Structure 1
Amino acid sequence: MWLATAIDPTLRVRLTGRIVTLIKAHGYSAEELDRFRHFQRLSYEILDSTAQNLRVGNSETEATRMLRKAFHLAGAHNYFHVPVALFGERSAYPGEFGAFEALPTERVLKEGDTFILDAAPIFDGYTVDTSCAYNFSDDDVFRKLDEELPTLRRLIKDRIDEGGTFQKIAWEVDDYIRERGYENCHKKHIGAVLGHMVTKADTDRLASWSYKGLAVKQVSWFLTRSRLARGKRRNMTPNWNHTNACKDVAPYGLWAVEPHLASGNVGVKFEEILIIDEDGARWLDDDLPHHRRWNNFTGNRLTP
């Protein structure tokens, strides 16, 4: 049963007699989806190459500096959120992990550490948000956690196709994680999000405005819609979480989905774009670095 809604979250203004789309949030053409796919792959390539170049003794601050430099060279000069590196126990969001504790610290990478790299660069107005967990040692806890992620990926897509609400799906993912004895870390994300909307912005002069690396236009749009959703306009929410703002059926658009679970000092996640439209739900790409890793340890092709 397919019940997603086509609520129009696009921001348009009239300038000198013509309509200008400042933020586009659904109704993308095949060409636009190809651009999102290209930029998502590019972002993952940068995460992956940075991960391969990290060495024991590098700090989170150094890792995010490497990411910023690589994104800048690739043409991304501002972000929906700045690059993040989480080393060792910080990959598991330990304890009462605050909303801004994910910002980089001087914690250094140690032998055998799991670590997470996460970035939301904006390329030519297209926002992508990507994240991946890494461990280059033979760590059984990391492997067991990582093996849960493709199952969660399938579950999330299937529940959208069955007409599930964002709230119901978020709670089912939470149940899945806790029933296996793991901790749900994405409930500690800003907004407690399992996912959030990503958009395409008009590349006008406003596109270059940023504050400490954050894109003013995209972030302002997101915060405004989040505030509206906390009132009576639930269908305005750009967040996907377990709250009552997500009780309605899934809105059309592109959603960066990021299940994050942990056991002890080891945390894993992925983050990639899910398309929701009149045809149902489908992942933007099925050939990303973490997919290939999953295929290697399962011996099976990833089921889209």
Structure 2
Amino acid sequence: MSNLVPTHADLADFKAAQRLAYDAVAAVEAQLSEGITEKQAAAALEDWLRGRGVTRFFHYGFAWFGERTRFKDFAKPEGGLVNQFANPKMAHFGKQFLPTDRPLRRGEAVILDVGPIVGGTAADIGYSCSLGGSENEEFHNARMALQPYRELVLRLVRAGAGQGRIYKQLDELIHDQGYENIHSYYPGSVLAHRVGKVPGLRLPTFRYKGFSPQAIAFLSGHLLESKLRPDAHQAPIWNEEGDSPCEPGLWAVEPHIGNGSFGVKWEEMLVVTEDTAYWLDDDLPHVRYWQQHERSPR
């Protein structure tokens, strides 16, 4: 398992890739206006990153507006993970999650999600914002409700808790806060998934339901190894069924909650080593948002 733990040099590359992805969502957030569509916002994410030298994506831009940020009326995953990936109705891998022509209206919630590959290093981030959201108390409260998840996940991973236990404790907290667990709509009901250095960068790339063949090869390779050597290698998907502690390596953690007509999330990379865990970067937009509003309560 030790070969899954990035070196210090690797971590610097992952941190730079993650910050570049967050710079992209900040730039697109500043461009949001009434009438812009999900497709246009998602394309703007990709264009901004391509303008900074990105030529490959772990996954391409996703943008969801309004009720689509809480996956309203979306199908939940059913059956095994392989079947879910193949099912055209499933999250991320299905058409229901791809950006649409739905226009943005003032005051609505927005989720921007993108995964650039920088020099072979993959990042995957998600960010919540809104058009005129500073005036919306319900939206603000939901963003603040995400704050304790970061500490809870880290504390339990460090304590050696099984992935399923962490998932269920987070689920209980979400329910106690009065929200719905929206990441349960993702393939495999994932709370997190592996990220790392992806293969096949010299091969052609294309878009398959929002993902690149490089990303699919990365995840399917880890999935196959977990099936062939379950005692030595964990599945790349972290959900409520996992009974082992979080395996060393890099994990993109993405808690996603909803209430009423909107949802909010954050997604960032967690570093897990043989004896501890820590967030790759503490200077991120959602962390700064929590800190700002703790100092200046609304």
Q: Which of 225, 246, 254 is residue 222 of structure 2 equivalent to?
A: 225
Which structure 2 residue ranges, 5 or more long, are not aligned? 76-89
Establish whether residue 142 from structure 1 lines up as the match of residue 120 from structure 2. Answer: no
Q: Which of 147, 151, 157 is residue 148 of structure 2 equivalent to?
A: 151
Listed as ranges, the matches of 1:60-99 within 5 Å are 60-97=38-75, 98-99=90-91
Which structure 1 residue ranges, 5 or more long, are not aligned? 1-6, 11-25
User: C-alpha separation between the residues in 2 aligned to 1:292 and 1:41?
Assistant: 14
Aligned to 2:81: none
Task: Name the one with the larger strand percent.
Answer: 1
Query: Which whole-Å deviations, capped at 9, do the CAs of 1:230-258 have from their partners, x for residues lacking one?
Result: 67727330111112xx2112100010000
Identity of aligned residues (%): 31
TM-score normalised by length of structure 1: 0.85
Residues 208, 52 of structure 1: alpha-carbon distance in 2 compared, 3 angstrom cutoff: farther
Which range moves more in the overlay, 220-229 or 70-79?
220-229
CA contact (8 A) 2:61 2:114 kept: yes
Residues 262, 197 of structure 1: alpha-carbon distance in 2 compared, 3 angstrom cutoff: same
Amino acid across the alignment from 1:54: L
Q: Which of 120, 125, 142 is residue 130 of structure 1 equivalent to?
A: 125
CA contact (8 A) 1:85 1:115 kept: yes
* Offset of residue 102 of structure 1: 1.6
Secondary structure (helix, strand or coil) at the match of 1:111 reads coil
Listed as ranges, the matches of 1:192-211 within 5 Å are 192-201=189-198, 206-211=201-206
Aligned to 2:108: 113
* Offset of residue 216 of structure 1: 2.4
Aligned-CA RMSD value: 1.9
Number of corresponding residues: 274
Aligned to 2:259: 263
User: C-alpha separation between the residues in 1 aligned to 2:167 and 2:143?
Assistant: 19
Secondary structure (helix, strand or coil) at the match of 2:33 reads coil
User: C-alpha separation between the residues in 2 aligned to 1:207 and 1:119?
Assistant: 21
Listed as ranges, the matches of 1:1-304 within 5 Å are 7=1, 26-97=4-75, 98-99=90-91, 100=94, 101-135=96-130, 136-137=132-133, 138-201=135-198, 206-212=201-207, 214-227=211-224, 229=226, 233=230, 235-243=233-241, 246-299=242-295
Secondary structure (helix, strand or coil) at the match of 1:200 reads coil
Query: Which whole-Å deviations, capped at 9, do the CAs of 1:6-28 have from their partners, x for residues lacking one?
Result: x36x6xxxxxxxxxxxxxxx232
Query: Which whole-Å deviations, capped at 9, do the CAs of 1:244-276 have from their partners, x for residues lacking one?
Result: xx2112100010000000111121100000000
TM-score normalised by length of structure 2: 0.86
